[in-house]
Structure 1
């Protein structure tokens, strides 16, 4: 009914009702013994990695179930199980892929037993809900410890992820040395947000040979012998432009080249993680992977291209300092870009919007067109832009997202593209208000 009335995706409410009827209802669903269950958790990249992996496996002719809506709390995953099961609770699939909220992981793994758990990365996100990163890491460990026979696939470039305290079999992925990787003392990167990292063994400082993104890179301890684990899946080289990434992956003494029609180092990590998962759980070929990368359609708000009233627009979800910085860093290089930034402070966004002050909005200071801001915290966003040395006359404030989208689209020249950067509940609001009606996805 929720979907029929176009007031949402019905991605959580059915699950909430089911959980009221039975607290651990996931145990009652019948998963085929030969079915592989994969859980993907971490701060950034869950939805894209989940979608890429699903597309790869579908391309091999397998039946795949996944929570495409991105609803990753226990209620959302319960909804997914209800939606895709038969009347007897049977799930007739070869692969079940679920992105999981970090704090919900232990609730899910108490009820279902995954073959693989993947952790993408850990960044500050919704501090009022998660607390600091060490707390988030402990929540993930709590979810993994429920299943000691589960294989864990970890981002070795993130020291907190690489050295999670588990006894499980581990497989590591990461980005090897590359000319586009970040040199740690390069002045253009010194102000980028990154998490404090220390040696998990002796608590001394870590020394980085290079960093690929924020605090992700190749590290070793200055005091003890701890270093980044050896990579089972390694990006050995990559080149990027305004629209694509061309990269090489080494694994099992072989190397394959791939082309990704997406932008940003963050999406390179997502693709690497998805390929590592696919290769671990199936006999997928390089050709099948490439076809899946070519045909992948992003989920709502994660780098999604749209046509609205015959105008070009993209939507990129923003939710924390590092993710926002990487999006801005990538988009500002594209010619003829315009921006609409929409910020809410609802529970699912995080009540604390102080993270706006850690994101690199100064990347926009040479942008000579109007920047539109919207959402409940539009004035906070406008103030942040002012302190990023953006002319006040360029900042257009409109708290109503419908009106803001309409006005920003009307201001576009024929050769310009609007990039909408919303927080999570702004995305939901856009959907609920029917702002996606008449929009044709490309």
Structure 2
């Protein structure tokens, strides 16, 4: 048995080297190879931890939340294994442990913090038993991969029900997530955002869940933060937003990041993260909740969050001849809407680059693009200098902007990513903002690294699917 594990690890490490020599990332292939050699590789490696396993699943924010949690744990002096590149299928999770393993299959770690794809979650928890599971949110995402949203929620719910001795960290503001506490019977810690006075949400959101997940009655909202996230209640069965154990308030945003007050157990603290985007505060609150659950000191949690380094495409920052440049991954309507909100919140004029691919990792079906509120852009055209569309479906992206009301004189179609990015960078606006789907993200980041300067907070890697 030990020889089988050793052979699997060695095979995985060799495949990783070959992948990197061929220009790949080696983030999933080692897991594929190892599991074929010895199917119990993940089970055996993950069982060697000293303290426990934390898993993060959900639609948006998995990579950011998981990396924030790992940063907090590392700031506390713990040895941490985590799939920082976001390879979150069962093969990627296996590859993560192989990376930290000796050739004989020994792994020395205190915690493993693992981002896990929603559809892969049931498979992973059959081999890796978590003590804590974080669920970020549920939104429609690549219907050709995941199916309808209700199916995704049910898959995660059923897998959670089969777990024992687990604590859930749940987004109180998402009714699809908050229901999991009572539905599974597990102990749950909730995090959320209080009503933010003076922070108007400019993007008209698609509400993923209008109805009560328990009885089907239409939910009533006191306020929304975005999409279905907010303060909700059901007048028929009494289901409502749980009172958060960790709650953010007093949010302020700048071009450099976010700052907020976080209240927990009657005390309030200040946290800061070096990444823009209102939605990223939810990720920070989830990580904060995990830190408190593990009895990590407040100062350590604050330090871990402040040192967070964005993954590629998670509001990654560059400078081009002194001009701020942002790179943002987009993959579904809710994420795109929040990206647009962040774009419009930045001061001054902007040149916008939009890359749309329809490869397997992106999702072949691009109809979700019509659920994105590009119409909001027409209210701010004086600050939006140009729109450069690129990728395999560049023409469809341009057509969507035209139907949204963006003047055709501001829209340019340039299929070549490099030429399109160069055009966006050389625009006359104060800031360049780049949107890219999965398979356009790596090439776009590589081009930016050649043409522009990476800012101080270097991004960690990310594979084509996360």
User: Counterparts of 1:370-381 in structure 2 under 5 Å?
Assistant: 370-381=386-397
1:181-330 equivalences in 2 (<5 Å): 191-285=204-298, 287-307=299-319, 312-330=324-342
Aligned-partner SS, 1:369:
strand
* 1:289-325 residue CA offsets vs partner (Å, 9 max, x unmatched): 2322322211111111124577542211011111111
Residues 181 and 211 of structure 1 are in contact (CA less than 8 Å); yes or no, is this contact kept in structure 2? no
Distance 1:368 1:110 in 2: 49
Q: 1:47 to 1:180 in 2, by over 3 A?
A: farther
Tell whether 2:185 aligns with 1:173: no
2:397 is the counterpart of 1:419: no
Question: What are the Cα deviations for residues 79-137 of structure 1, in whole angstroms up to 9, with x where unaligned?
Answer: 11111112222221111111110000111100010111110000111111111111011
Q: How many residues align?
A: 433
Is the CA contact (8 Å cut-off) linking 2:277 and 2:315 kept in structure 1?
Answer: no
Residue 157 of structure 2 corresponds to which residue in structure 1?
141
The one-character-per-residue Cα deviations of 1:132-180 (angstroms, maximum 9, x if unpaired) are 1110111112332332211111111111111123122111111123314
Which secondary structure does the structure 1 equivalent of 2:376 belong to? helix
Q: Higher helix fraction: Structure 1 or Structure 2?
A: 2
Q: TM-score, normalised by structure 1?
A: 0.92
Closer/same/farther in 2, CA of residues 3 and 300 from structure 1, 3 Å limit = farther
1:106-121 map, 5 Å: 106-121=122-137
Of residues 171-180 and 313-322 in structure 1, the stretch that sits farther from structure 2 once superposed is 171-180
Question: Kindly tell me: are residues 102 and 370 of structure 1, through their superposed partners in 2, closer, same or farther at Cα, counting changes over 3 Å?
Answer: same
Name the structure 1 match of 2:408.
Answer: 392
Matching of residues 17-32 of structure 1 within 5 Å: 17-29=33-45, 31-32=47-48
Distance in 2 between the 1:264 and 1:352 partners? 26
Aligned in 2, Cα 1:315/1:389: closer, same or farther, shift over 3 Å?
Answer: same
TM-score of the aligned structures, taking structure 2 as reference length: 0.87
The aligned residue for residue 179 of structure 2 is 163
The alpha carbon displacement at 1:222 in A equals 1.8
SS at match of 1:246: strand
Mark the CA change 1:9 to 1:307 in structure 2 (over 3 Å): closer, same or farther. farther
Which runs of 5 or more structure 2 residues have no equivalent in the other structure? 1-16, 456-466
Q: Which sits farther off after the overlay, 258-267 or 235-244?
A: 235-244
Q: What is the rounded CA distance, in whole Å, between the counterparts of 1:391 and 1:44 in structure 2?
A: 31
- Output one character per residue of 1:37-71: Cα deviation in whole Å (capped at 9) or x when no partner: 11000000011111111111111111111111111
Q: Secondary structure at the match of 1:328?
A: helix
SS at match of 1:149: coil
CA shift, 1:394, in A, is 1.1
Question: 1:428, CA displacement in angstroms?
Answer: 3.1
More displaced 10-residue stretch of structure 1: 234-243 or 63-72: 234-243
Rounded Cα–Cα distance in structure 1 between residues aligned with 2:447 and 2:40: 34
Per mean C-alpha deviation after superposition, the further-off stretch among 340-349 and 195-204 is 195-204
Say which is worse superposed, 17-26 or 33-42, in terms of deviation. 17-26
